[in-house]
């Protein structure tokens, strides 16, 4: 089967290269990916997909699908296409999206024979306000059997974990006064922010080693001779498990509450970005995908990379069996993601060579899930057990 899949992948390769290069040349920030989402949609329509544009009211989101006449499982691939400020596609989402959309098109070619449905979710703004969060909340994955994407990286590594994350903002309001002549009339909101940082630093000694808390001061006053009446701090709180995130976030909030009490400033707590859930890899699905890479000669695709980031695929993995592996595009460990070097690596022959291998593996995994009832049963059992 993999040879047949490989032939189909080669037959659409020019279209995929064009899509990848077009998105590379037109980088768009999260929720502004109008050109990029349109390019995906046009290509999917060309190959006979039905498309729901502005899916769930998300302007640059879409759902594309093809349902064969034969009943069968629904395989989904998730396309990302948002870029970073200034650098453009430093995270390689041009290639990520092309790989997912490519896999869907190739699988569609086989669907009338094997049955089932293939779905592509166009999911904007992974780097900021991930659209997958809303899609999960609105039930987009009901009736979907598996969800897959593969992220470009320096080397191959299998789907692992990512941190659950909450983005909290503390807005302190105090009272302005002349800092020298009327200090007693003022309430210093900046002091509240500084105390919050100090309390969080004390808290740090008593948190689990896998947790991360990091923040900045967004607003800290206007002039040194005015007691700051407004100060704003933003933090990311990250943990390896969702349940601990709630506990730790509450402790971080208490640091701010204590600072408000101590200074007399008022405190407003809000979320400045959407929170992400931790990624729960479906190991059964992951193993099949990894085998499909190995059978094409990929060395050690089951290496595991420890990552401390957060991805919105995490939210998907709590409602649908999912994998979020990485595929190598340059093999140079010194090139980090979110850099210009990484961005430019997404256009190289080496990147395309590995994109083809990854598409073949994603498609063959889809074929196996459709054709092998026992496998799907095992995937579901593992998923249900992980929820308990």
Question: By CB under 5 A, which span of 86-94, 177-185, 208-216, 230-238 interacts with Zn ion?
Answer: 86-94
Which residue has its beta carbon closest to Zn ion?
91
Question: Residues 102, 108, 109, 111: what is their CA dihedral angle, to the nearest 10 degrees?
Answer: 150
The DSSP line for 179-196 is TTT-GGG-B-HHHHHHHH
> In whole angstroms, how close is the CB of 105 to Zn ion at the nearest point?
22
If phi > 0 it is left, if psi is from -120 to 50 it is alpha, else beta; for residue 102 that is alpha
Nearer to Zn ion, 172 or 326 (CB): 326
CB of 65 to Zn ion, least distance (A): 24
Of 83-91, 133-141, 249-257, 322-330: span binding Zn ion (CB under 5 A): 83-91
Q: How many CB atoms lie within 10 A of CB 284?
A: 21
User: Which two structure tokens, joined as six digits, stand for 242?
Assistant: 């969702």
Residue 103 or 255: which CB sits closer to Zn ion? 103
Give the whole-angstrom CA distance, residue 156 versus residue 303.
Answer: 7
Minimum Å distance from CB 126 to Zn ion? 6
Size of the site for Zn ion (CB under 5 A): 1
Taking the complex as a whole, the smallest distance from the CB of residue 96 to Zn ion amounts, in Å, to: 7
Find the helix or strand (DSSP H, E) in which 117 lies. Answer: strand 117-122
Q: Is 193 in the site for Zn ion (CB under 5 A)?
A: no
Q: Which is nearer to Zn ion, 141 or 326 (CB)?
A: 326
Minimum CB distance to Zn ion, residue 95 (Å) = 10
Pick from 23, 91, 165, 351: which binds Zn ion (CB under 5 A)? 91
Residue 62, both tokens: 């879409």
Give the nearest distance from C-beta 311 to Zn ion in angstroms.
7
3-state helix, strand, coil in the chain (%, to 5): 45, 20, 35
| Residue 53 DSSP SS3 | strand
- 80 vs 145 by CB, closer to Zn ion: 80
CA 63 to chain CA mean position, Å: 17
Q: Which residues bind Zn ion (CB under 5 A)?
A: 91
């Amino acid at each position: 089967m993999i040879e047949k899949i490989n032939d189909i992948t080669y037959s659409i390769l020019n279209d995929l290269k064009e899509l990848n290069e077009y998105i590379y040349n037109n980088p768009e920030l999260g929720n502004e990916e109008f050109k990029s989402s349109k390019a995906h949609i046009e290509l999917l329509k060309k190959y006979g997909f039905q498309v729901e544009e502005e899916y769930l009211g998300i302007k640059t989101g879409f759902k594309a699908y093809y349902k064969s006449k034969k009943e069968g499982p629904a395989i989904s691939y998730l396309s990302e296409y948002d870029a970073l400020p200034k650098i453009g596609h430093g995270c390689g989402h041009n290639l990520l999206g092309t790989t997912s959309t490519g896999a869907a098109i190739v699988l569609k070619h086989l669907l009338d024979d094997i049955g089932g449905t293939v779905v592509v979710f166009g999911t904007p703004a992974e780097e900021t306000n991930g659209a997958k969060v809303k899609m999960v909340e609105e039930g987009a994955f009901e009736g979907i059997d598996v969800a897959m994407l593969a992220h470009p990286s320096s080397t191959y590594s299998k789907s692992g974990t990512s941190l659950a994350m909450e983005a909290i903002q503390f807005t302190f309001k105090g009272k302005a006064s002349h800092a020298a002549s009327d200090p007693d009339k003022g309430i210093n909101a900046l002091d509240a922010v500084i105390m919050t940082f100090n309390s969080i630093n004390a808290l740090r000694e008593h948190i689990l080693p896998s947790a991360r808390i990091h923040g900045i001061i967004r607003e800290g006053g206007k002039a040194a001779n005015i007691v700051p009446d407004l100060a704003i701090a933003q933090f990311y709180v990250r943990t390896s498990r969702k349940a601990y995130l709630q506990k730790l976030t509450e402790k971080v909030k208490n640091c701010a509450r204590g600072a408000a009490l101590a200074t007399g400033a008022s405190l407003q707590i809000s979320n400045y970005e959407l929170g992400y859930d931790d990624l729960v890899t479906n190991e059964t699905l992951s193993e099949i995908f990894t085998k499909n890479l190995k059978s094409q000669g990929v060395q050690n695709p089951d290496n595991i990379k420890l990552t401390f980031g957060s991805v919105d695929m995490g939210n998907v993995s709590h409602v649908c069996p999912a994998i979020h592996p990485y595929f190598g595009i340059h093999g140079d460990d010194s090139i980090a993601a979110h850099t210009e070097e990484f961005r430019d690596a997404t256009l190289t022959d080496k990147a395309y060579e590995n994109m083809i291998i990854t598409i073949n593996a994603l498609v063959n995994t889809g074929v196996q899930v459709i054709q092998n009832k026992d496998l799907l049963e095992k995937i579901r059992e593992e998923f249900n057990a992980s929820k308990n």
